[in-house]
Amino acid sequence: MFEFAWPYLLLLLPLPILFYWLQPKADDRQSTALRTSLFNRWQSIANKTTASTSKQLWHLLVSALIWTALIISVARPQWVGEPVDLPASGRDLMVSMDISGSMEARDLKLDGQQATRLVVVKNILSDFIEQREGDRLGLILFGENAYLQTPLTFDLKTISHMLMETEIGLAGASKTAIGDGIGLAVKRLKERPAQNRVLILLTDGQNNAGALEPIEAAKLAKHAGIKIYTIGVGADEMILNDALFGPRKVNPSEELDEETLTHIAKLTGGRYFRARDEQELKQIYTELNKLEPVEEDGNIYRPIKELYYIPLAMALLIYFLFYITALIIQRLPLRGGVQ
């Protein structure tokens, strides 16, 4: 459906006629005339007694076309498409992700190749984000401190882009402030509808920094009606090749505080997940897709295509052609004289 965003501006169309009708006569005309090239042209046409009638009409027609096109352009013509129903699950989902130095450990695999924990998490979490159509997502990063990377938004492409740009050290690499990561999420989610607030907390270590203890932060989340689903990342064993003692088996997730993560999840009505490899992490996100499906009334969206540039381009084209034509006509007598 065609319509104008600002239709009241179309009332300006007869303004040149009104101006000509109200302009002062004789000696007063020069001092009070409105100083615009378009109006001046109409004024000169009206005053020029020696020009032919056809030439005056031609100039008047061109000026009228340009003025009409410009007014139509500023009135913002639009094509409004048919209504489109938008899915709305109603979830406000905040992801709080650990980017401390331990996430550089290469104890996981991605597509069969050894990779750091952060790389594996980013790639699988990116796929999870793409499936969140209808949800608002936000991203919090924490290391020695926590900060908001992306506020809650329906723009999943931006969330995914900001996630893939994440690097170790953006929030400090040496320590892990799990409590602050939860606290910042509580601050961002507490203003949202109470039944939809969900936090996914992903870490591979234990809290050893920050101003807020994880359990205290979880209590704040419970009070705010926020469910927390915690994910512990890291393999249970890894083979290290020691130059002195040879190959030996170690536990790269020795510092993972599963007890605290489990307590946080239970306290807020959520669940704790353990991600020891790529497949387990994928399975966790599949399970999370099934959680908290709070449905709301669907929103209706009508796609709008702006068309203002079409009459604007027409006005410029008419003016350009008129100007070129006038130049050619002016030069024709000179060329005849030379011949």
pLDDT digit string, tens, across residues 11-33: 988 888 887 787 665 554 444 44
Structure tokens at 148: 């908001």
Among the residue ranges 28-42, 58-72, 150-164, 252-266, the one predicted with the least confidence is 28-42
What percent of the chain stands above pLDDT 70? Answer: 79
Nearest C-alpha neighbor of 1 from the set 104, 77, 115: 77
- Residues 167 and 100: their CA atoms lie apart, in Å, by 9
Distance CA 178, CA 255 (A): 13
pLDDT, average across residues 245-273: 87
Instruction: Say whether pLDDT at 256 is over 50.
Output: yes
Say if CB 182 and CB 212 are below 8 A apart: yes
DSSP readout, 208-251? -SSSS-HHHHHHHHHHTT-EEEEEEES-S-EEEEETTTEEEEE-
- In contact, 109 and 115? CB cutoff 8 Å: yes
Name the burial class of residue 127, with classes exposed (0-12), middle (13-18) and buried (19+) by CB atoms within 10 angstroms of its CB: exposed
Residue 59's pLDDT is 80
Residue 29: per-residue pLDDT: 47
Model confidence at 179: pLDDT above 90: yes
Cα 338 to its chain centre, rounded Å, is: 64
pTM of the predicted structure, to 2 decimals: 0.60
CATH topology of domain 88-289: Rossmann fold (3.40.50)
Cα R_g (the chain), whole angstroms:
34
Q: Say if residue 221's pLDDT is above 50.
A: yes
The position carrying tokens 């169309």 is 13
Q: How confident is the model at residue 109 (pLDDT cuts 50, 70, 90)?
A: confident
**How many Å from the N-terminal Cα to the C-terminal Cα in the chain?**
58
Percent of the chain with pLDDT over 90: 29
d(CA 64, CA 38): 9
Distance (Å, rounded) from C-alpha 69 to C-alpha 312?
A: 6
pLDDT at 148: 93
Cα gap 201→192, rounded to integer Å: 18
Domain residue extents for the chain: 2-80+304-338, 88-289
pLDDT (average), residues 54-62: 78
Question: Which sign does the torsion angle of CA 55, 61, 67, 69 carry?
Answer: negative
pLDDT at 213 over 50: yes
- Buried (b) or exposed (e) across 16-25, using 16+ Cβ within 10 A? beeeeeebee
Helix (H) or strand (E) segment spanning residue 313: helix 309-338
Residue 265 in this model has a pLDDT that exceeds 70: yes
Average pLDDT over residues 45-61: 64
**Contacts by 258-266 with C-beta closer than 8 Å and gap 24+?**
258/232, 260/178, 260/206, 260/207, 260/214, 260/215, 261/201, 261/203, 261/230, 261/231, 261/232, 262/230, 263/215, 263/218, 264/182, 264/201, 264/214, 264/215, 264/218, 264/228, 264/230, 265/228, 265/229, 265/230
Q: pLDDT by residue (tens digit) across 31-51?
A: 444 445 555 555 555 555 444
Please return the burial class of 279, using the count of CB atoms within 10 Å of its CB with bins 0-12, 13-18 and 19+: exposed
User: Which tokens hold the place of 302?
Assistant: 């009508």
Q: Are 132 and 90 spatial neighbours (Cβ–Cβ below 8 Å)? A: no
Higher pLDDT, 304 or 72: 72
**What pLDDT is attached to residue 304?**
82
Q: 144 near 174, Cβ under 8 Å?
A: yes
On average, the pLDDT of the chain sits at 81
